[in-house]
Structure 1
Amino acid sequence: MNLPEFGVEAWLNKWEKSAKYDISQSSIDSLTLEELIGLDGTKVEDFFAQHSTDKLNYGWIEGSPEFKELVAELYQNMPADNILQTNGATGANMLSIYALVEAGDEVISMIPSYQQLYDIPRSLGAKVKLLNLDEKKDWSFKIDELKELVTPKTKLICLNNANNPTGTVFDTDFMEEVVKIAKEVDAYILVDEVYMPLNKDRKFVSIVDMYDKGIATNSLSKTFSLPGLRIGWTASNKEVADIFRKFRDYTVICGGVLNDALAVHALRNRDKILQRNEEIVKNNLEIVENWLKTEPRVSWCTPHSVSTSFIKLDIPQDDYSFCEDLLREKGVLLVPGTAFDRPQHARLGYCCNPKILQQGLEKLSEYLRKFD
């Protein structure tokens, strides 16, 4: 297996702990352990007293029954048994691709996107066709462009909805067209849905509620503000879930007894988390939009009520060295667009603590003045 460097993860592994103003992350401002447990009035000491006699064995290998039931409730008609717990959405994507893709298969994946979705199929010997998102089309693509790429050999279509890094959301009408194309060649559709949009007015339906051969991957990391739990899942039909079970035993084993308990607590209180996070997205979006009105060297396609965004930089310097210099001189961390194969852009994780966001944007503007 030959894998290239994972651009965004390599960048963050190197630099994220050096930042004073980290406005690069794509999770919504992470909850503390105290905040999570206290959502329903429970105290930390009471929660851990309740679990103090739990044996730290492997626990429920596929996730506890309550976890599976609570995740199934996120979908319209999903049997709990078809939910498989994974180590984050990263683990869910890895499992899905590893289980379905073989050498010689044809895979279509969008770009820019999460690098797993095109480089892991390549590493397995698949022929990967890239579906380019167009900034002029609000980081979307035309359905006809997908039709041109699909052939009878297409095994899997990989999408990221909402998209990392751009914040684009493909609504239900759009996804219905994608499903029609997949049905013509009996292809699977894998959709990384970890950036579930928070805007209730926007039409968004999971792929598993639209297509029998749809596979949804998700986790508590982004929309639910709990990346440190490392709990994700796959949702699919029974046939696919049974395929995943075999491959899962080689890759995942379990998520951990305490992590499962914390995940259950989060999902029981998901309405409170989502209400909190909807406010963060709304308020922080306003902060960035007001800043953009005064910053001539930065523009963006407005993200659709999700936690990640992609800014365009009007600078006479390559984006990678710019982001390195910005961090060293101002303490501000962005992810260079080159990490997503889109130079002269950067990922702006605008859903961090609002004070950090405001200060980070101010420092970014200070640094950009050197180019005026």
Structure 2
Amino acid sequence: MQFLTMIFLNNFLGGDEMKIAGFGVEAWLNQYEKSAVYDLSQSTIESLSLAEISKLTGLTLSELFGKQKLDYGWIEGSPAFKQAVAQLYQQVEPENVLQTNGATGANYLALYALLEPGDQIVAEYPSYQQLSDIPKSFGIETVYWRLDPQNNWYPDLNRLKQLITAKTKMICLNNANNPTGTLLQRDFLNEVVELAKQVNAYVLVDEVYQPLSADASFVSIVDLYEKGISTNSLSKTYSVPGIRVGWIATNDQKITDIFRKYRDYTMICAGVLNDTLAVALLNNQAKVLARNQQIVKENAEILTNWVQREDKVELKHFPAIPFAFPKFEINGDIETFCVKLLQETGVLLVPGNRFAILNHVRLGYCTDKATLKKGLQLLSEYLLNY
């Protein structure tokens, strides 16, 4: 109630406008991605077409959509959607899954529903900017838990112990991390959970970059902690960012009911056609993931071989996610480099300064192979002469 009153006073009674910083990576992509010839900036695995989805699922478009009425459909997501998502976790029941407009909608919902001025959050940094700047715009004290570049961008638990206080309401993480690719291991997350328990804090984890690897290095926060909140979507691992379907999942009915109330103020539904596609993909996830694992494996080999030939590029091991975060040994500003690279070669990267990191770029390597190979070739030539 306190939070809603603050919004009312600010927006309708002439108070100071709540301010938020520009979204660095999104502003960059909005400005440049449509002019790219060789787009190596994206953080998803090569997007599926409707024809490919039809082939993967064995369903024609008429069978998928022909009899679907274009009403609101299931507001929280269809029962089939909730059931399919719940099966991705060990500790989540279908009724504790809520459909959202992508993971961005899920993150916003969690932050909007659970935080009030006077609270404090500890936010992994750098990370997906939404997770720190939205709370800050709400008047939440935001404390940064910085990743350590000297430790391959892994955060320090001792530092977290110093940052947490009795005011800490939430710890915000991104696993795997965007842009560094840092993958937080199960033992590490268990330590985070134990620290969160000491102050009864939530742990919100954006898990859209669940790695496509055969090992057991990834675990969802909701399978470790009763106050864990998982946000995810079909945009990255499942290659359909265009349908804008995500979800928020918990293992606690009371938390989910809070989200239900606030969700009514942020969205109605994700759309019945989108829900239909989401269910079809989740019901055929083995085929989708097999396709994407192959793309990640083959394209990662191309990228790794390229890095080994480049004297001006440093890239340590990266998990099986759709992007890497190499360091470029260049003189001058990394954004200037990326703008000129695009203008002169048509190759698009995301400069690291858009995540407040110098001399690095986010390189999305899970595009089609022709684009990747030609883009890397042009990047090599540009680096050589820059």
1:20 pairs with one of 16, 20, 37: 37
What is the identity, as a one-letter code, of the residue corresponding to 2:102? G
RMSD: 1.0
Contact 1:139 / 1:301 at 8 angstroms: preserved in 2? no
2:83 pairs with one of 64, 69, 76: 69
Contact 1:281 / 1:305 at 8 angstroms: preserved in 2? yes
Greater than 6 Å deviation, 4+ residue runs: none
Task: Give percent identity, aligned residues only.
Answer: 55
**Residue equivalent to 1:254:** 269
The equivalences for 1:195-214 within 5 A come to 195-214=209-228
**Residue equivalent to 1:314:** 329
* Cα distance in 1 for residues equivalent to 2:174 and 2:203: 11
1:333 pairs with one of 333, 348, 351: 348
Shift of 1:88: 0.2
Confirm or deny that 1:355 pairs with 2:337.
no
Confirm or deny that 1:152 pairs with 2:169.
no
Shift of 1:107: 0.4
Shift of 1:77: 2.4
The equivalences for 1:208-357 within 5 A come to 208-236=222-250, 237-357=252-372
**Residue equivalent to 1:368:** 383
The equivalences for 1:125-164 within 5 A come to 125-164=139-178
Equivalent position SS for 1:189: strand
Equivalent position SS for 2:169: strand
What is the identity, as a one-letter code, of the residue corresponding to 1:16? E
Unaligned 5+ segments in structure 1 are none
* Cα distance in 2 for residues equivalent to 1:123 and 1:202: 37
Question: TM-score, with normalisation over the residues of structure 1?
Answer: 0.97
After superposition, give the CA deviation of every residue in 1:71-124 in whole Å (9 maximum; x if it has no partner): 000000211000000000010001110111111210010111100000001000
Contact 2:98 / 2:247 at 8 angstroms: preserved in 1? yes
Contact 1:163 / 1:169 at 8 angstroms: preserved in 2? yes
The number of residue pairs the alignment matches comes to 368
* Cα distance in 2 for residues equivalent to 1:53 and 1:205: 38
* Cα distance in 1 for residues equivalent to 2:63 and 2:165: 57
Shift of 1:152: 1.2
Question: TM-score, with normalisation over the residues of structure 2?
Answer: 0.94
Contact 2:148 / 2:156 at 8 angstroms: preserved in 1? no
Shift of 1:221: 0.2
* Cα distance in 2 for residues equivalent to 1:334 and 1:264: 32
What is the identity, as a one-letter code, of the residue corresponding to 1:324? V
After superposition, give the CA deviation of every residue in 1:303-344 in whole Å (9 maximum; x if it has no partner): 211112211111112011111000000000000101111121
Confirm or deny that 1:170 pairs with 2:184.
yes
Equivalent position SS for 1:130: strand
Equivalent position SS for 1:293: helix
Shift of 1:184: 0.7
What is the identity, as a one-letter code, of the residue corresponding to 1:188? Y
Confirm or deny that 1:120 pairs with 2:140.
no
What is the identity, as a one-letter code, of the residue corresponding to 1:340? F
**Residue equivalent to 1:188:** 202
Confirm or deny that 1:83 pairs with 2:105.
no
Cα distance change, pair 358–20 in 1 and its aligned pair in 2 (3 A): same
After superposition, give the CA deviation of every residue in 1:35-77 in whole Å (9 maximum; x if it has no partner): 1122132223433xxx323221111100000000000000002
What is the identity, as a one-letter code, of the residue corresponding to 2:59? T
What is the identity, as a one-letter code, of the residue corresponding to 1:74? L
